[in-house]
């Protein structure tokens, strides 16, 4: 899996810096196998064009079958959704596999590449990851959250601007996705939040229905439609989502 590179080693070093900066901005979602990322010469693999320096994020086993309509489910596919200029190439090598993985359990990934209104000359790309948990060192909170990563793309898919929005998933708050849709070139994300979350010290919780909209210019707006305080059953925190306001 190739993140980027160029004709000189300095080009590859810039691409490597970009990977480290982007992964940190995304909340360090991904963990690479030992030894990755690394800069290699393209000449090391017969299948690549010669004379380049490239940044490898990993060597993943080949898929036995591919369904183009299937949602991204692996870390490698999710990286590709977040950065479409990343690419994969089948190679013949004696090196052992070393594929990227998620820092936390694999989220569900919803990937939108949105055709925008004529008045907007750039592309909007929105990737929604659900089931994200807060990461604190070696400890991953069980609080459920949503991570939205939106980007504006220019010619040849070049990144112009990127926005990262976290909905719940942090200490004492959580969010569960209800639906997503594209409307007038924007992506609308309907979700249900709870804060504080139920615990032995929290006899009640605030439950609210919310719609977060990402516009083609990456403007983020949030509108809360319903709000209610509910009694906690802290032995079964998921009961928050079974409240009539929320539904199952």
**192-237 pLDDT, tens per residue?**
887 765 555 566 777 888 999 999 889 999 998 877 777 665 454 4
For the cut 70, the answer to whether the pLDDT of residue 138 exceeds it is no
Q: Do residues 204 and 185 touch, judged by C-beta distance below 8 A?
A: no
pLDDT of 139 reads: 46
For the cut 70, the answer to whether the pLDDT of residue 174 exceeds it is yes
Long-range CB contacts (< 8 A, 24+ apart) of 160-165? 160/122, 161/218, 162/22, 162/25, 162/218, 163/214, 163/218, 163/220, 164/25, 164/26, 164/27, 165/212, 165/214, 165/220
Burial zone of 120 (CB within 10 Å; 0-12 exposed, 13-18 middle, 19+ buried) = middle
Q: Do residues 229 and 204 touch, judged by C-beta distance below 8 A?
A: yes
Q: What is the mean pLDDT of residues 3-15?
A: 96
For the cut 60, the answer to whether the pLDDT of residue 243 exceeds it is no
**Alpha helices of 64-115 — where are they, by DSSP H?**
75-82
Distance in angstroms between the alpha carbons of the first and the last residue of the chain: 39
For the cut 90, the answer to whether the pLDDT of residue 245 exceeds it is no
Residue spans per domain, the chain: 2-102, 108-242
Q: What is the mean pLDDT of residues 90-95?
A: 89
For the cut 80, the answer to whether the pLDDT of residue 133 exceeds it is no
pLDDT of 214 reads: 93
Q: State pLDDT tens for residues 101-114.
A: 988 767 888 988 87
**Bridge partners of 128?**
110, 148
């Amino acid at each position: 899996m190739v993140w980027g590179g160029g004709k000189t080693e300095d080009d590859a070093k810039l691409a490597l810096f970009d990977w480290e900066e982007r992964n940190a901005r995304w909340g360090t979602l991904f963990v690479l196998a030992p030894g990755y990322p690394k800069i290699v010469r393209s000449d090391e693999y017969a299948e690549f064009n010669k004379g380049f320096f490239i940044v490898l994020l990993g060597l993943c086993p080949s898929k036995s079958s591919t369904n183009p309509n299937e949602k991204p489910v692996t870390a490698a596919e999710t990286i590709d959704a977040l950065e479409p200029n990343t690419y994969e190439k089948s190679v013949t090598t004696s090196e052992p596999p070393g594929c990227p993985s998620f820092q936390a359990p694999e989220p569900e990934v919803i990937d939108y590449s949105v055709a925008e209104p004529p008045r907007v000359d750039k592309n909007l790309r929105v990737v929604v990851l659900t089931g994200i948990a807060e990461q604190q060192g070696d400890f991953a909170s069980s609080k459920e959250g949503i991570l939205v990563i939106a980007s504006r793309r220019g010619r040849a898919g070049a990144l112009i601007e990127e926005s990262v929005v976290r909905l719940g998933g942090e200490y004492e708050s959580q969010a569960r996705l209800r639906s997503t849709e594209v409307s007038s070139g924007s992506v609308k994300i309907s979700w249900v939040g709870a804060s504080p979350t139920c615990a032995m010290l929290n006899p009640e919780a605030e439950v609210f229905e919310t719609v977060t909209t990402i516009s083609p210019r990456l403007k983020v707006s949030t509108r809360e439609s319903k709000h209610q305080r509910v009694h906690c059953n802290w032995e079964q925190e998921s009961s928050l989502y079974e409240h009539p306001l929320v539904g199952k």
